[in-house]
Amino acid sequence: MSGADRVVVLDRDGTIVVDREYLADPDGLEFLPGAAEGLRRLHRQGYRLVVISNQSGVGRGLFTLERLRQINDRLMQMVGQAGAQLTAIYCCPHRPEEQCDCRKPRAALLHQAARELGFDPHTCIVVGDQSCDVELGQHVGATTVLISADPAPAAAHYVATDLLQAARIIERLDPCT
């Protein structure tokens, strides 16, 4: 895997930060246990970290795109303070019933990220806590890691209890480490 293709695509809520259901305040961002260390490990391994997140609170009128930008800026800051770096954040602001192509599990945002950041989508690793995250990875032929307390969920290549364990799994998969 070339350096350009060392990309981990991460979900936000329930994977990196506590899922607060329609988080509308940047001050509500809080790392999940193991998330900061997991991000730091992945960053130190040379992975570019990209967040792709469904944020239908915008489409539902619960908060604005400007507020979402503030939340994303705060997340970037938190990750930086934790000793890692997010390369980019991509969000779908639409409601599920809009059937847009950018809402996970559809892959438009992942393809956009790949074009803009210069990586092959099937070489990335997709990490998330929902079936839509696993399905996103499956749509592009990527390796998938599900964050779950359930030891035997269907479909994901790997299961981890938190982002730190996911980083350790990814480290074992990487021939460059």
Dig out the tokens for 114 from the structure: 């790949």
Whether the CB-CB separation of 80 and 70 falls below 8 Å is answered with: no
Catalytic pick among 11, 129, 133, 162: 11
Which amino acid, 53? Answer: S
β-bridge pairing 7-10 and 125-128? parallel
User: Is 25 a residue of the active site?
Assistant: no
Q: If you search the block for the tokens 């800051």, which residue do you land on?
A: 77
Q: How far apart (Å, rounded) are the C-alpha atoms in residues 92 and 136?
A: 13
User: Is 13 a residue of the active site?
Assistant: yes
Q: If you search the block for the tokens 């364990």, which residue do you land on?
A: 165
Q: If you search the block for the tokens 């991460």, which residue do you land on?
A: 10
Residues that are catalytic = 11, 13
